[in-house]
Structure 1
Amino acid sequence: MNSSNDILSSATTAPNTLPKGLRMNPDLTTSGARPATSAIPDDIDDLLCFSHLRWNFVYQRPQHLLTRAARRWRVWYVEEPIWSDTPGLRVRLAGHQLYVVEPHLPHGTTPDEAIRLQRAMVDQLRAEQRIQNYAVWYYTPMAMLFSDHLHPRLTVYDCMDELSAFMGAPPLLIEQEQRLMHRANLVFTGGYSLYEAKQKHHARAYPFPSCIDYDHFVQARAGLPNPADQQGIVGPRIGYSGVIDERLDLALIDQLVQRRPDWQFVFLGPVAKIQPDQLPKHPNLHFLGMKAYDDLPAYFSNWQAALMPFAINAATKYISPTKTPEYLAAGLPVLSTPVRDVVRSYGGWERVCIAESAEELGARLGSLTTRPADSDGPQLEQFLREQSWENTWQQMQRIMKAQLMVG
């Protein structure tokens, strides 16, 4: 097996050029090396993000926030490693000033060597791209194992989920999160329940629950053409969009689908952490796979209601589903199990129905769709417009700038 020095040194070409394995388009290299503007006390030049989520996975919180961050700074989105026959660092342009960084590690790499390699790759990226006046933004505490030597001007932990409660969570995750909480200058949380848990351990924790790209999803109200793979599913349709994993109550879905054979149940999204053969199978239940973010309004436009059949367990105790405001902006009534943050933020609206059992959900489905679309009046529309990702990012940025001034 090659050592970390072998992999990196053999990739190096000339000073100030990108190494082999760090292939970029010409426009990337010309925008890369630039002097830091450290003379500006409340600003940075680069944001280095460590995430457990692939950039091209479901379009969600990281993408909404970091595409906005890239309007001002260069953003480096470092993903978890990929095991490869051609080790090295791959960087690609994903948007204006936004770069996705993929560490490729050799097959058979030991855990200790993987940490050493990733640490060396992060240092290589910083040196090649002159990342000097920067902040570090964490989605995964596990990245502390190879990034705790960094000395950024600001460290932010954007805690979007209680990852330790998820299926397959690494044994070291709780320990690494404790280290990150100690290191972080700021902690942002993806919901109020999560904030209540984290603020006990950090003096500068701030809640930023699920938000919405209102203008994107309100398109669904215009009566968009039905996507081809949904045209053969004769309504009425109730749908779910998102990752299909251990957070969904499969037994409840199975019972609900059988109780309402007059409804078609449509699920959009990738299956993760569960086997496809674990999914219920019924003639009126349809799993259509992952869809592009831009295509979601067309699917929503041809549903009559939206469903959030989350299990009530440790994995969902702190979630704040982004889909709630997205469904409402699309003009859909929402049927949900009693997730705490859904009940807290949306349970008072007429267009949101909370029920726990398959029997109750099935009974509520008919009455939910007969409620007038404007039953919540202009107050709901105003509420949804205020829950924008743009507003959230502006608030986050103000907090970051204030913290930079403190030093």
Structure 2
Amino acid sequence: MGCTHPYWSALQVGSQHLARQFARHGWKVHYFSAPISLLHLPELFSAEVIKRLQCAIQCQTIHANGMIRSYVPFSLIVPAGNCLLRHKVVIHNWFRTMVPPLKSIQHKSGFERISLLYIDNLSYHFLLDQFSYQKSIFRVMDMHERFPGWEGEARNLAQKIARQADVTVYSAQGLEKYVDTLGYSKSALVPNGVDFDFFNFQTSSAQKHPFFKNIPDPVLLYTGMIDSRLDFRLIRSAAYRLPHVSFVFAGPVGISHRLSDLPANIYLIGPVPHAQLPDLIRSAAAGLIPFDVDNQMDLIQGIRPLKLFEYLAAGIPVISAKWPELERMNSPAWLYENEQEFIEFVHKATDNKYDHMAAMNFAKQHDWKHSFELMLNALETGVYTSKSH
């Protein structure tokens, strides 16, 4: 599997969940995340960079009783957003500077015979040419070229992978038109899901999560990357209007320059270990998805957020911005179009009148095991046939 986030990352996205599904169904999984390079040395005091470097040194980390082996390759150069490192020469040849070389890792780890090659990180396009395999899947979770630094070449890479892969699957209906431009042989919608049993599991303790120990109730919680997709104008304004409510953001911060002078009832608690997320979520009055649909729709329209299912599986209300993908889902989430509706939903969430069972039943229908089955079925049959292949 050629993916982006480390398998053990606090940010658990579709890649890690699908890896676990493969393992549960008896597959031996070799999970490669984005490489680390000399370019990361200035960030050496970052806990995640330190751990990635440690993993690169030890070559592989074993998970799931040996069924999953994860790798953080070390490379002298890697593709990145600046002009020099997104040059075609770097994008198409960075893997040649891996230490140890890719073939050495393959031989040492014993996966010469590959039944299925899975790619969702464009930087791993070369796996299709460097490895021998029986079948291949390309998974699309975003409109790649919408992200800074990847304009132009991202589409070329996505087309290259889609045309070589046996099937291209995409995680949200909003990505269909983009995927149709890639020239795939077969494609299918394989939506994001949730590890229902993990998020629905009730611990014996009903106490407030330690991360919320010094944070007054009621708590509204956002989990995930804190980046430009969030509507901080609305969040700031709502926090000023609701001083008795605590707005908690749990996750890595990618836009620190926009987070100065926040109201006192907005809390940034940093990344939370994935194992603690269910208890953290259950300690909140509601889960938030406050995306900036007015200014960032290009980044949002193809998202079917995992956090929506995770909040619902844990049995709490969801307050989310409205965009077409969420409307199509017809979930129990409360979708707002403006700040006043957001405020009204906050009041609704804190009155303790909520149908928890309806939320959990909806989430249960979207377990990752169903998405996994759809993906394997798509590999055999496909749903759409490209005219441009």
**Alpha-carbon deviation of 1:388?**
0.5
* Cα deviation, residue 99, structure 1: 1.2
Which amino acid in the other structure matches residue 282 of structure 1? Answer: P
Q: Which moved more, 1:140-149 or 1:315-324?
A: 140-149
The alpha-carbon distance between structure 1 residues 223 and 240, as it changes in their structure 2 partners (threshold 3 A), is farther
Equivalent of 1:252, from 221, 224, 234?
234
Look up the SS of the partner of 2:60 in the other structure. strand
2:374 corresponds in structure 1 to: 395
Range that drifts further, 380-389 or 84-93? 84-93
CA contact (8 A) 2:76 2:98 kept: no
- Taking structure 2 as the reference length, the TM-score comes to 0.80
* Range with bigger deviation, 181-190 or 50-59: 50-59
Q: Is the aligned partner of 1:114 residue 2:68?
A: no
Does the C-alpha gap of structure 1 residues 113 and 142 become closer, same or farther in structure 2, counting only changes over 3 Å?
closer
Indicate yes or no: 2:128 matched with 1:155: no
Decide whether aligned partners of structure 1 residues 215 and 133 sit closer, same or farther in structure 2, where only a CA change above 3 A counts: closer
Query: Do the aligned residues in 1 keep the contact of 2:246 with 2:265 (CA within 8 Å)?
Result: yes
Cα distance change of structure 1 residues 74 and 218 upon mapping to structure 2, 3 Å threshold: closer
Letter of the aligned partner of 1:291 in structure 2?
Answer: V
CA distance in 2 between counterparts of 1:369 and 1:67 reads 35
Matched AA of 2:96: R
Q: CA deviation at 1:196?
A: 4.4
Q: Supply the distance in 2 between the matched residues of 1:140 and 1:199 (Cα, whole angstroms).
A: 18
The correspondence for 1:235, drawn from 217, 238, 243, is 217
Quick one: percent identity of the two aligned structures?
A: 21
- For residues 30-41 of structure 1, what are the structure 2 equivalents within 5 Å? none
Structure 2 residue 32 is the aligned partner of structure 1 residue 52: no
Equivalents in 2 of 1:79, 1:102: separation in Å? 6
- Please state how far the C-alpha of 1:232 moved relative to its aligned partner: 1.4
Confirm or deny that 1:209 pairs with 2:162: no
TM-score w.r.t. the length of structure 1 is 0.77
CA RMSD of aligned residues (A): 2.9
Post-superposition offset of 1:356: 2.5
Match of 2:324 in 1: 340
1:282 & 1:104 partners in 2: Cα distance?
41
1:104 equivalenced with 2:74 (yes/no): yes
Q: What secondary structure sits across from 2:97 in the alignment?
A: helix
- Which digits, 9 at most, give the CA deviation of each residue in 1:121-163, with x for residues without a partner? 2322333424224321111122214653433211101112223
Q: Counterpart of 1:287?
A: 268
Q: 1:285/1:389 Cα in 2 relative to 1: closer, same or farther (>3 Å)?
A: same
Aligned to 2:288, what secondary structure does the other structure show?
A: strand
What does residue range 277-356 of structure 1 map to in structure 2 within 5 Å? 278=259, 281-312=262-293, 313-346=297-330, 349=332, 352-356=333-337
Return the index of the structure with the highest Cα Rg.
Answer: 1
* Equivalent pair of 1:239/1:305 in contact (CA under 8 Å): yes
Gaps of 5+ in 2: 42-52, 79-84, 383-389
Q: Measure, in 1, the Cα distance between the counterparts of 2:276 and 2:100.
A: 39
> Aligned pair in 2 of structure 1 residues 399, 260: CA closer, same or farther (>3 Å)?
same
| Runs of 5+ consecutive residues of structure 1 not aligned to the other structure | 1-48
Change beyond 3 A, Cα 1:120–1:90? closer
Distance (Å, rounded) in 2 between the aligned partners of 1:288 and 1:130 = 40
